[in-house]
Every structure is written in structure tokens, then in C-alpha cells.
Amino acid sequence: MKPRTLLSWVVRVLSVVWLPVVTVVVWQKVTAAKQEPFFPEPLVIWERMRAAWFTGPASHLWMNEEATSNWFASLGRMFTGWVVAGVLGIILGVALGRSQRVSDYLDPLLQFGRAMPPPALVPFFISVFKIGTQMQLATIIFGVIWPVLLNSIDGARSADRVKLDTALVFGMSRWMVLRYVILPAAAPKIFAGLRLSLSLSLILMVLSELVGSTNGIGYQLLRAQRDFDVPQMWAGIVLLGVLGLVLNALFVLVERRVLAWHRGSQGMA
């Protein structure tokens, strides 16, 4: 690397990094000086995270039993709910988007379903499914299906008329039209919906574990609250922040790959 480009690279990294670093340092200094019970030092939070979750062997990335069992339980619920809602949302949404009539009939119901705050239905789901995985999945699926569904309807509707007619003239089968015309046209919107759903499913996963669970990250938070263990609560919050950040970054990575192909194909056409 030439010194010039290295220098500009260093400047660029510094311009992004300096404020977070300063913030954490100030946070540490202030909390260490004040010793407020509710606002522990970042170092204390970090220490607590290590003690609670990272005492395991290196082969498990230092994660201990407590971490793996609870994290996998939470992530498992979240992903199952998200995937089920995503598949249902895309299939229903694309079907509805291709039929103006059917979506006219269902529109008020869908708008209402989206406006209903999912937590208001949690007690209902608890009484139907009892406390446990089913109720948690129901909460997550009901809460996150709307962005995917409504965006898929919108996306499928936006398929280019000329392309659809061309496909018809060339005698393409319905499946081919779906695969090569409608889905590519709807893909950007579908991905926007999926991304929103992913962050919503993290929220609803935590909510469902706070009200009814026997394990998981949300349940650990609740236990920390009952024990009045403030550093442990902060540790849980930081963990969820990191988790959200990683999930979003992974999603963007996948989205870029899938939609890059889409952009390329559009450019060729």
C-alpha cells in the first residue's frame, strides 16, 4: 500500500471511530467517579458478560453452557418465526399482488392486522397455546408477517406491464413468468420487508421471553430484574445490541449478493 492511500485510510477509519471511543472512555470515567448503582462502569458490564457467558472452552469460542443453551433457544425461536412469517408473507403477498380483486377484498383486514400492536395479543396467545415455544412463535409470526406481506403485494404489483406482455407473447409458462418477471421485480421490496421483519422479530422474541419463557436471553433479563442485578441487565442489553448489529450486517451481506444478481440481470435486459 502506498503511504498516501494508507494515510487516507487511517484518516477515514479515525473519522468514524473517534467518537465511539471517546464516548466509551467518558462513560467509563464518569461512572467510575460517580459510582451510581444503576449505571455501572462499562468495564464492570464487560466483566459480568465474561463471567456469565464466556467461561467455556476455546473450542466453543469460550461460550459456556449458560450462553449456548439460552442464546440458541432465543435465536432458534427468532429465526423459526421469521422464516415461517417470511415464507408465508412472500407466497401470500405475491399471490395477492397479482390479483387486484382479491387484494381489494382483503385490504381492510390486512391494514387492521398490521395496525394491531402484537403485545396486545400476547395474553390471548398465552391462553390459547399456554406458556412456551408455540405461544412465542405465534407472537413473533403474527408480529413480523405484515411488513413482508404488504411489501410483497406492493412489489408483485409493480411488475413491468411490457415485460409481462412480452412474456405472454413468447408463450412463457406461468411459473416462468413468476420466476423471471414477477419475482425479480418484487425482490427489492420483499427484501426491504424482510429486513424490517428481522429487527421486529428480535424485539418480539425478547418480549415473548419476558412474559412467558423458562429460558432465553429475555428470560435471563427478567431473572436479573427479579434479582435486582443491574450489571447483568446491562450485560443483556449490550448482548442484544451486538446481536442486532450482527444480524443486520449479515442480512445486508445476503441482500447485496441476491440483489446484485438482480441488478445485473436488469442491466442486461
Q: Which residues bind another protein (CB under 8 A)?
A: 15-20, 23, 38, 101, 104-109, 111-113, 115-124, 126-128, 147, 151, 189, 192, 195-196, 199, 202-203, 205-207, 210-211, 218, 221-222, 224-225, 228, 230, 233-234, 236-237, 240-245, 247-248
Which of 172, 237 has the CB closer to another protein?
Answer: 237
Cβ atoms < 10 Å from Cβ of 132: 13
**Close Cβ partners of 62 (under 8 Å, ≥ 6 residues apart):** 54, 55, 56
Q: How far is the CB of 193 from another protein (least distance, A)?
A: 9
CA of 208: how far to CAs of 30, 54, 104, 116, 262, in Å? 35, 25, 33, 16, 36
Q: How far is the CB of 110 from another protein (least distance, A)?
A: 9
At position 131, the amino acid (one-letter code) is I
User: Whole-angstrom distance between the N-terminal and C-terminal Cα of the chain?
Assistant: 39
Q: How far is the CB of 251 from another protein (least distance, A)?
A: 11
**What cell numbers appear for 125 in the block?**
396467545
Q: How far is the CB of 263 from another protein (least distance, A)?
A: 17
Which of 94, 198 has the CB closer to another protein?
Answer: 198
Closest of 176, 169, 183, 156 to residue 266, by C-alpha = 183
Which of 157, 195 has the CB closer to another protein?
Answer: 195
Cα–Cα distance, 214 to 84 (Å, whole number):
23
Which of 98, 189 has the CB closer to another protein?
Answer: 189
Q: How far is the CB of 182 from another protein (least distance, A)?
A: 19
Which of 89, 118 has the CB closer to another protein?
Answer: 118
Cα–Cα distance, 201 to 148 (Å, whole number):
12
